[in-house]
Structure formats: structure tokens, C-alpha cells
Amino acid sequence: MNILVTGGGGFIGSHLVDLLLLNGHSVRVLDNFSTGSRNNLPSQNERLEILEADIRDPKAVEQSVHEVEAIVHLAAIASVQASVEDPVGTHAVNLVGTVNLLEAARRHGIKRFVFASSAAVYGNAQQLPVTEDTPLAPLTPYAADKLASEYYIDFYRRQHGLQPVVFRFFNIFGPRQDPSSPYSGVISIFMQRAINGQPITVYGDGEQSRDFVFVADLVELLKQASVTTNGSELPMNVGNGQGTDLNQLLKLIGDFSGKELDVEYVARRPGDIKHSQADNCRLRQRMKYESRYPVEVGLQKTYEWYQGQELNSLA
């Protein structure tokens, strides 16, 4: 199949591209490489086409869907904090970009559309685990744009016969996640700091927990959705239904490194949620989903990858 992956140069997108190529598909990547990187992608593969362009540019988007059979839309400014600081700029990418793509898909008769939404649409959910019927409470521009994107996608489904699959991602982690901002994924930050022997900051008591999903499990699901399903009316949580707290993470990372970690506990971040855990029943009913990487296994693989990066940078 011919598949377009927007944001294909990013952390999640590039793993999906690898998997699709491995499975014999042809892939076009649309990415402006603002946060993603060409280094995440294979340098030579005749089934891979890279279009360096912006999701905000309707002409480029139109070009990107040419002769495509399915779209996986991952391009976004994935930082909640960026959306708080620059709502106009992030909105142009996170919502207007989605609508550009939906319009192009409609004009070209492309039905299959897989979208990366976020657990952020639930805000600070009161009841755990979080089912998809939990009241929606987007608390940030990022969350509002993800939710609005879901509504637009549903409009195209009802009006134009789009066959979408919408996933609400919980906390994804793995190799290639960029640890460079204080708001990057906590696992990427902790690992990089542990490997460099730098101090680690925990905001709060470290008992806050998240439902961590290893990126290889996620991209299996994205592949399945892009090549086999006929779409689904309802969004699906992507989580394992298990909470892991930061102190548990630190214990495991300490074990991998064989060193005492330098950990400092400071005040919790305002607005930070205490626990997040997905109810993934709908996902398991509708998709073939089984986590092949329990958190400890995914963490070990991720740790080895960051360690390799460090060794490469020293070489």
C-alpha cells in the first residue's frame, strides 16, 4: 500500500515508517523537520519518499496525498507547554493542519485516516481507569486542538464517508524520544540524565503515575489501523491499563545504570495530574492489541538506546 505519514520524521512517526517499510509498504513522509529529524529516517530506501513541507501549507498538503491509499496523521506540535505559550502558532499546526489534510483527503477520495489524539482531552479525570466515556475536559490549547480535530474528523466521516481511526495516546516512550525540553517525556529526561550522571528533578513526591506505552506496541497498532480497518465511529484509548509511578521508574533506571542516581524532589508542577490510567477495553475489542513490551522491557530497550547515543556522541 501507499501510505502517507505526516510527522514521519518524529519520534513515533519514524518508528511507524520503519515498520511499514519492513512490511513492504511504500511510504511518503510529510514533515517540516521542526521537531522531527531526517536522522530518524532511513537514508536510502526506494519505497520511502520524503516531502519536506509544512502541514499549514495547503498546496504542499495537496501534493502529499497524491496517489495515497491511507493517511496516518501524526504531525503536531506535541508540547502542551508550547500551546500554552503560543496558542495561535500551535493552533495553526494542530488544528488547521488537520483540516488542511482532511480537505485534501476528501478531494482525492482517500478514506483511511488514522489520527493521533491524546489523553489530554480528558483533562484531570476524577475516576480511574479512564474510559472513553469520561467527560471531556480539555484544559489547554493543545488538548482543545486535539479534541477539535476529533470533531472535524467525525464531520468528514458523517458528511464525506471518511473511515477514520482515532487513537487517544496515553504516555508513549521509547528510543528517539527527544529529551531536550523540560516538558519532554519524563522517561527520556530521566534516562538521559542518569546516563550523563546529571541530577534528576522530580516534581512532587514521585508517587504520580502514568500509563506508559512502549512505542513499538503503538506503531503495531497504527500499522494495523492504516492497512486493515474500515474505520471506527468512536475514539479508542491507547494505554495498557497499568500505572507506573516515577519512583518505580527511578528504581528501574537506577538498576540499569548500576549507579546511585542523584535525585532531587521539588514542588509539584501546577496543574500536574496525579494519576493517569487508561481503560483499554474498547481498544482490545476492536483492534488486535496485546502489549508485547511490558514497561520494564520497554524501559530496558530504551535505556540501551540512550546509552548507545551517548557512546556515539563520544566516538
Mark the segment that binds ligand UD2 (CB under 6 A) among 19-27, 67-75, 196-204, 304-312. Answer: 196-204
Q: Does 208 bind ligand UD2 (CB under 6 A)?
A: yes
What cell numbers appear for 221 in the block? 497498532
Q: Does 203 bind ligand UD2 (CB under 6 A)?
A: yes
Classify strands 112-118 and 26-31 as parallel, antiparallel or unpaired: unpaired
Burial of 189 (0-12, 13-18, 19+ CB in 10 A): buried
* Smallest separation, CB 283 to ligand UD2 (Å): 17
* Strand partners of residue 70: 3, 112
Q: Does 12 bind ligand UD2 (CB under 6 A)?
A: no
Active-site entry in 142, 156, 303, 306: 142
Mark the segment that binds ligand UD2 (CB under 6 A) among 53-61, 62-70, 114-122, 158-166. Answer: 114-122
* Smallest separation, CB 188 to ligand UD2 (Å): 8
Is the CB of 9 or the CB of 174 nearer to ligand UD2? 174
Measured between alpha carbons, how far is 140 from 182 in angstroms, rounded to an integer? 18
Handedness of CA 285, 240, 2, 69 (dihedral sign): positive
Interacting residue with ligand UD2 among 70, 210, 211, 306 (CB under 6 A): 210
Measured between alpha carbons, how far is 120 from 78 in angstroms, rounded to an integer? 11
3-state percent breakdown (helix, strand, coil) of the chain, nearest 5: 45, 20, 40
Interacting residue with ligand UD2 among 131, 163, 201, 247 (CB under 6 A): 201
Classify strands 2-6 and 70-73 as parallel, antiparallel or unpaired: parallel
Mark the segment that binds ligand UD2 (CB under 6 A) among 19-27, 50-58, 222-230, 266-274. Answer: 266-274
Is the CB of 170 or the CB of 256 nearer to ligand UD2? 170
Under rule CB under 6 A, which residues in 176-195 are in contact with ligand UD2? 183, 185-186, 189
CA dihedral 120, 274, 202, 177 (to 10 degrees): -30
Mark the segment that binds ligand UD2 (CB under 6 A) among 64-72, 199-207, 213-221, 234-242. Answer: 199-207
Q: Does 292 bind ligand UD2 (CB under 6 A)?
A: no
- Residue 225 C-beta-side C-alpha neighbours within 13 Å: 30
Measured between alpha carbons, how far is 20 from 59 in angstroms, rounded to an integer? 26
* Smallest separation, CB 76 to ligand UD2 (Å): 9
Q: Is 122 a catalytic residue?
A: no
Q: Does 93 bind ligand UD2 (CB under 6 A)?
A: no
Q: If you write DSSP's letter for every residue of 236-261 in order, what string do you get?
A: EEE--S--EEHHHHHHHHHHHHTS--
Measured between alpha carbons, how far is 94 from 146 in angstroms, rounded to an integer? 7
Q: Does 207 bind ligand UD2 (CB under 6 A)?
A: no
Is the CB of 21 or the CB of 246 nearer to ligand UD2? 246
Q: Does 246 bind ligand UD2 (CB under 6 A)?
A: yes
Distances (CA, A) of 240 to 52, 67, 102, 188, 251: 34, 35, 30, 19, 20
Any idea which residues carry the catalytic annotation?
Answer: 142
> Which residues lie near ligand UD2 (CB under 6 A)?
78, 80, 118-120, 171, 183, 185-186, 189, 201-203, 208, 210, 246, 269, 272-273, 276
